[in-house]
Amino acid sequence: MQRIRLGNYPFKVPQRWDDITPAKLKQLEGTKSNQIKQRVHILCDLPEIELSPDIYLAIYEMLSFIEDIPELVPNRLDIHPLLEWISSEWTFAEFEAARKIAANHLDELGVTLYALAQIKGLEYNYLEAGSKALDGLNLFIEQWAQFDLDSDKNEPTDIEEMAGIDRLQAFGVYPILESVGAKYGKYPSEIETQPAGWVMQEYIYTIERQRYTDNLRKLQPTK
């Protein structure tokens, strides 16, 4: 912490992630990067005083570390290798919640640490749990990236747009849950409680099996 005095008001400015309590980070996660005044008041415990925009900016410069992901974190939690942790111990619903949280702060993922840790009830150690969840999330997404499942990155064709694909895309990952559920006679809500890795494996297998069947049919000589 760095101590600063403005007039008769002394306060502390955090200088590293360890200086930020879980409660403060929880509040920070609910702000946007352009809400400088709110962030300064949250992180520095400023009294109810109004400062000039220049002073707010100067203080915020001292808080620039919040835009970065912590490089060094504690190692107190009993967590499996990160990819295995996400694949086997996170449900698909938890994985999807984490993915959405990270997507809301792509340019400053550090502020998501509390929310990510909270998914597994580990907010008391948000620095380690949040950082490892973020790393595991990236590894999990990378594992399945070769299958090009992210519809947000795939531009629809003109025909698909004319057919109204935007209305289907509004359902997000629901087609994954529906597909796996149909295979096992389960509701999508039942599938999303299953391990994230198992759900993705079942979904990808169904897609690849159908692709193989279609290709085989095309390659077979017609009678």
Is residue 193 a part of any domain in this protein?
yes
Is residue 52 a part of any domain in this protein?
yes
Q: What pLDDT does residue 125 have?
A: 92
Same domain, 133 and 169: no
Is residue 75 a part of any domain in this protein?
no
Q: What pLDDT does residue 80 have?
A: 83
Is residue 181 a part of any domain in this protein?
yes
Cα three-residue angle 45-51-54, rounded to 5 degrees = 110
Is residue 152 a part of any domain in this protein?
no
Same domain, 62 and 87: no
Distance CA 172, CA 190 (A): 17
Same domain, 62 and 89: no
The closest alpha carbon to 20, from 126, 120, 163, 102, belongs to: 126
Domain that includes residue 48, residue range: 2-67
- The pLDDT averaged over each successive group of 10 residues in the chain (223 residues) is 76 89 91 90 82 88 88 85 94 94 88 94 93 94 73 59 55 80 93 94 89 84 70
Same domain, 95 and 50: no
Count of domains observed in the chain = 3
Q: Name 82's Cβ contacts closer than 8 Å, sequence gap at least 6.
A: 132, 135, 136, 139
Is residue 153 a part of any domain in this protein?
no
Same domain, 162 and 143: no
121: left (phi over 0), alpha (psi -120 to 50) or beta: left
Q: What pLDDT does residue 158 have?
A: 65
Q: What pLDDT does residue 217 have?
A: 85
Residue 15: other Cβ atoms inside 10 A:
13
Same domain, 92 and 60: no
Q: What pLDDT does residue 7 have?
A: 66
Is residue 77 a part of any domain in this protein?
no
Is residue 76 a part of any domain in this protein?
no
Q: What pLDDT does residue 167 have?
A: 55
